Amino acid sequence: MTAVWLRWRALFSVLAQVLWHYRLTVVTVLAAMYGIISAVTEPPMWANIFIGAIGLLTATAEIVTLRTRARSIVFQARTNDDYHDVTYAERDRGHAVRAGTDVGQFYLSESDLMRGRDIPAVVDDKPFSLPDRFAPWSIGFLLRRIRSATLHNGSVVGLSSDLPTDSTDLRDVHLRKCDYFNFVGTNILAAYDLREAGSFSTKQDGRSLFLDDRSAQPIRFARSQLANVMGVSTLAFTIDGFVVLVVQSTGSLNSPGLVAPSGSGALEQQDLPSDPDSNDSLQQIVTRGASRELSEECQLQDSEILTTEVLGYGR
């Protein structure tokens, strides 16, 4: 073979790989061009059949590729991770709260401040978007969660900055709009380690998604790539001295079949101020969300909720 032929064969080989890699884009462009041609002329029947067959084969190949890729990833739950290193690193900021396999950190300074001073809150103009690093596995993980829990993609609110700890530095707390599936595909995913099927080597350490490797402390919200949806929970006490509790359904994502607070869920975008120029505090937004959850889960009217106090903040 001549050098020219070898060069052209190599070029065509690379071109074929590029076209296959961008096969959906190529087929879409061809279909668009064919549509334009069809608008000005009458293509033969064989051309219609050919274009339809190419589209069907490409779509089938893409589905097979995506399913194969999804099945090659194993999501390994860290059920034995007690996070003692994290709670030890955070010991000066608060104390750990353990419930079943879940571990939370109750922050003292932030909670004291929330009980004593209004904290200004602003909503970022730019909503949360899923980072590229999550693209290879977030959809596969979401599909697995949907098969085991009842999920709906609500319009929720995440934290994009940390809460202030001192009244002398009462800076704005930044919130951003996102959706619940982003929360599942980032924060919930972070409770799992990812590895290739048939291999014990870790492909993605879930801890690295929300913890600093050196300090074992949570990554600050301003640097975090997770949705960091805000949860709100409330305990309702009746005027005759009873506490209202609910039992979660078996389809609940976090606590299936367990006794839960009177109202508990994610802060939703409807809880945000309707006026963008509003000066609502973080406590006012949280109170709206907690009261809404209480009304929804306990079938209460707004007029039946006499007063609400924000008691604390945890992560």
Q: Give the tens place of pLDDT for each residue, 224-244.
A: 999 999 999 999 999 999 999
Neighbouring C-beta atoms of residue 272, cutoff 10 Å: 20
pLDDT at residue 164 is higher than 90: yes
Q: Which domain range does residue 29 map to? A: 3-71
For the chain, helix, strand, coil in percent to 5 are 45, 20, 35
Domain boundary among 25, 50, 71: 71
Q: Are residues 177 and 62 in the same domain?
A: no
Q: What percent of the chain has pLDDT over 90?
A: 45
Q: Give the tens place of pLDDT for each residue, 44-60.
A: 887 777 777 777 777 77
User: What's the confidence (pLDDT) of residue 225?
Assistant: 95
Average pLDDT over residues 63-92: 81
The Cα–Cα gap between 289 and 307 comes to: 14
Q: Give the tens place of pLDDT for each residue, 288-313.
A: 999 999 999 888 888 899 999 999 99
Confidence grade of residue 157 (pLDDT, cut at 50, 70, 90):
very high
Q: Give the tens place of pLDDT for each residue, 233-290.
A: 999 999 999 999 988 877 676 677 888 889 989 999 999 998 877 889 999 999 999 9
The Cα–Cα gap between 271 and 289 comes to: 5
Highest averaged pLDDT of the listed ranges 9-23, 125-139, 196-210: 125-139
Q: Are residues 283 and 174 in the same domain?
A: yes
Domain boundary among 47, 71, 95: 71
The Cα–Cα gap between 118 and 107 comes to: 17
Confidence grade of residue 158 (pLDDT, cut at 50, 70, 90):
very high
Lowest average pLDDT, out of 37-41, 71-75, 226-230, 250-254, goes to: 250-254
User: What's the confidence (pLDDT) of residue 36?
Assistant: 73
Q: Are residues 132 and 93 in the same domain?
A: yes
Q: How many domains does the chain have?
A: 2
Q: Are residues 167 and 192 in the same domain?
A: yes
Letter for the amino acid at 33?
A: M
Please tell me whether residue 250 adopts helix, strand or coil conformation.
Answer: coil
